């Protein structure tokens, strides 16, 4: 009979991971606070226009040293957590798949409630989506995924030919599902063919290929005239009424999408600055499915980071960091300068998005930042691990309790932030960027103290306790026995 799948005992925890989660929480808070004061629809618009003085430099420093680095770090840690659970279940002969699926479903519920009831910047639901993909490539047979992908692509080709002949058939969904299935099949094959290095190679490929494609593609588009001039040229080059009609339709579609995006930003600003929680919640609920439908590409990138994080455990790097200090030293000395250098280059190319004018330049800057985020993130991890094995050990260890309560602290940051900044709370919407940074430092310091106090009395954070209950199917003990 298999041993029962149960929560990890406190003595079995990898303390380095708790410290890293604490650091990641601080970085995420420094990034998220801007979007308690600015519409989440502006998330990919770069530095806000009009910022000056200390507020500009506070935003610039966060853009270079924080943006993209800490959700990446947290994603690496998520993948490490998956690998830790899998390794312990395998050694003990316990079942793994169904408890992990329950864990993922519970995370999706947390994410949906967080998005709808608190803040539209939630990442937990995307994590749950990426976790499902992680389970899929781990558990499914590669041949099944590959053949399903091939079948859907063949159907897409057939439907496309039929559509060209005047029979409208839905070829786009077939293409949209076929390509990811082929990709996931190739990843599943790599994980089985190379049980350790395959996780690292597949993770790097899933993350870097889209980032490099964005960077190279946008670089190739530099020098093109502004959008209005491009539209004029395309209309002038349309030689037939049908061609001109097609160009006009494409222009109209872009204009419609842009107008809808601007309406969303205006609605979000009005509602979050307003005084009606019910109206704001109804708006978030209406946008929930819309936002998730756009996130499959992000889930693929998340899967790549999860796989790379899992490699750190499967290769023994994070389970015995003291034995791998030379590797962490290389990660720090190479990753941080490379990642920060690429981020600086990206901000110098185009710090803010001027729609219709610097689209290609801004996409190039985003691509450079995306590539740099992974390099900087693993570099930060290397530096923190070295610090834990050096003079900074006691200081960094103070962050471990906050990391043990990462889910509770992440959601409480949103609850506190929306209450403090939104109109239906204290109404400090639009706080200057410098003051936002000071706010984060103060709130995070209180979270560290509160986490330490809580864990001296209880085994888990409140939401961690609920998450374990959902995962293991029974209520875990909460209070620490004297």
Contacts of 122 (CB under 8 A, 6+ apart): 111, 114, 115, 414
End-to-end CA distance of the chain: 33
Q: Which of 132-136, 167-171, 227-231, 463-467 shows the lowest mean pLDDT across its residues?
A: 167-171
Q: Does residue 9 register a pLDDT over 70?
A: no
User: In the chain, count of helices (H) and strands (E)?
Assistant: 20, 0
Asked if residues 184 and 136 have their Cβ atoms less than 8 Å apart, the reply is: yes
Asked if residues 306 and 203 have their Cβ atoms less than 8 Å apart, the reply is: yes
The residue ranking higher by pLDDT, 262 or 426, is 426
3-class SS of residue 424? coil
Q: Does residue 11 register a pLDDT over 70?
A: no
Q: Which of 160-169, 181-190, 237-246, 275-284 shows the lowest mean pLDDT across its residues?
A: 160-169
Distance CA(75)–CA(381), nearest Å, equals: 12
Beta-bridge partners for 479: 458
* Residue 303: DSSP 8-state: H
3-class SS of residue 48? coil
Neighbouring C-beta atoms of residue 326, cutoff 10 Å:
8
Asked if residues 40 and 96 have their Cβ atoms less than 8 Å apart, the reply is: no
Q: Which of 282-296, 325-339, 373-387, 389-403 shows the lowest mean pLDDT across its residues?
A: 282-296
Q: What's the mean pLDDT in 398-402? A: 96
**In 3D, which of 250, 260, 252, 308 has the Cα closest to residue 73?**
308
Phi and psi dihedrals of 12, rounded to 5? Answer: -90, -5
Neighbouring C-beta atoms of residue 44, cutoff 10 Å:
10
Q: Does residue 51 register a pLDDT over 90?
A: no
**Per-residue pLDDT tens over the stretch 129-181:** 999 999 999 999 999 999 999 998 888 888 777 766 666 667 777 788 888 89
pLDDT, position 8: 41
Q: Does residue 464 register a pLDDT over 70?
A: yes
How would you class 60 by CB atoms within 10 Å of its CB: exposed for 0-12, middle for 13-18, buried for 19 or more? Answer: middle
Share of the chain above pLDDT 70, in %: 95
Q: What's the mean pLDDT in 184-205? A: 95
**Per-residue pLDDT tens over the stretch 82-123:** 999 998 888 877 888 999 999 999 999 999 999 999 999 999
**In 3D, which of 38, 114, 39, 28 has the Cα closest to residue 77?**
28
Neighbouring C-beta atoms of residue 469, cutoff 10 Å:
17
Share of the chain above pLDDT 90, in %: 67
Distance CA(436)–CA(433), nearest Å, equals: 5
Phi and psi dihedrals of 479, rounded to 5? Answer: -80, 140
* Residue 47: DSSP 8-state: S
Cα-atom radius of gyration of the chain, to the nearest Å?
24
Q: Does residue 4 register a pLDDT over 60?
A: no
Its pTM stands at 0.92
pLDDT, position 142: 95
Phi and psi dihedrals of 471, rounded to 5? Answer: -70, -45
**In 3D, which of 70, 482, 36, 110 has the Cα closest to residue 280?**
36
Distance CA(327)–CA(424), nearest Å, equals: 49
Q: Whole-number mean pLDDT of the chain?
A: 90
pLDDT, position 3: 38
* pLDDT grade for 419, boundaries at 50, 70 and 90: very high
* Residue 3: DSSP 8-state: P
Q: Does residue 239 register a pLDDT over 70?
A: yes
Q: Token match 């026995």: residue?
A: 481
Distance CA(284)–CA(107), nearest Å, equals: 19
* Residue 459: DSSP 8-state: S
Distance CA(206)–CA(173), nearest Å, equals: 21
Q: What's the mean pLDDT in 183-211? A: 94
* pLDDT grade for 296, boundaries at 50, 70 and 90: confident
DSSP 122-182: --HHHHHHHHHHHHHHHHS-HHHHHHHHHHHHHHHHHHHHHHHTT----HHHHHHHHHHHH
């Amino acid at each position: 009979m298999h041993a029962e799948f149960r929560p990890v005992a406190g003595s079995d925890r990898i303390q380095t991971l708790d410290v890293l989660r604490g650091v990641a929480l601080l970085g995420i808070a420094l990034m998220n606070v801007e979007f308690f004061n600015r519409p989440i629809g502006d998330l990919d618009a770069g530095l806000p226009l009009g910022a000056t003085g200390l507020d500009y430099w506070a935003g610039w420093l966060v853009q270079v040293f924080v943006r993209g680095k800490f959700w990446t770090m947290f994603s690496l840690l998520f993948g490490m957590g998956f690998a830790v659970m899998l390794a312990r279940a395998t050694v003990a002969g316990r079942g793994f798949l169904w408890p992990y699926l329950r864990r993922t479903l519970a995370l999706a519920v947390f994410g949906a409630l967080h998005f709808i009831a608190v803040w539209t910047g939630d990442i937990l639901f995307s994590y749950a989506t990426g976790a499902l993909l992680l389970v899929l490539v781990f558990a499914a047979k590669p041949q099944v995924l590959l053949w399903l992908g091939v079948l859907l692509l063949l159907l897409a080709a057939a439907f496309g030919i039929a559509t060209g002949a005047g029979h409208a058939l839905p070829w786009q969904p077939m293409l949209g599902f076929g390509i990811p299935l082929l990709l996931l099949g190739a990843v599943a094959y790599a994980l089985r063919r190379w049980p350790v290095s395959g996780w690292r190679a597949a993770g790097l490929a899933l993350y870097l290929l889209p980032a490099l494609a964005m960077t190279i593609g946008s670089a190739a588009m530099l020098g093109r005239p502004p959008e209005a001039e491009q539209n004029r040229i395309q209309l002038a080059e349309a030689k037939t009424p049908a061609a001109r009609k097609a160009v006009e339709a494409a222009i109209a579609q872009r204009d419609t999408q842009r107008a809808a995006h601007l309406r969303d930003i205006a609605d979000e600003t009005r509602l979050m600055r307003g005084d009606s929680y019910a109206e704001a919640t109804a708006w978030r609920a209406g946008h929930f499915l819309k936002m998730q439908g756009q996130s499959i590409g992000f889930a693929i990138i998340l899967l790549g980071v999860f796989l790379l994080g899992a490699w750190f455990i499967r290769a023994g790097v994070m389970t015995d960091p003291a034995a791998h200090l030379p590797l962490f030293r290389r990660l720090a000395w190479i990753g941080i300068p490379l990642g920060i250098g690429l981020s600086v280059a990206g901000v110098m190319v185009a710090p803010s998005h001027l729609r219709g004018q610097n689209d290609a330049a801004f996409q190039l800057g985003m691509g450079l930042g995306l590539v740099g985020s992974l390099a900087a993130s693993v570099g930060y991890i290397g530096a923190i691990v070295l610090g834990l094995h050096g003079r900074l050990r006691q200081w960094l260890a103070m962050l471990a309790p906050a990391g043990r309560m990462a889910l509770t602290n992440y959601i409480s940051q949103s609850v506190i932030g929306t209450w403090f900044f939104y109109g239906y709370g204290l109404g400090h919407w639009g706080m200057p960027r410098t003051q936002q940074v000071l706010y984060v430092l103060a709130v995070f310091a209180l979270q560290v103290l509160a986490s330490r106090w809580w864990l001296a009395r209880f085994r888990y954070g409140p939401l961690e306790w609920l998450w374990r209950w959902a995962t293991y199917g029974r209520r875990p003990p909460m209070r620490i026995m004297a």
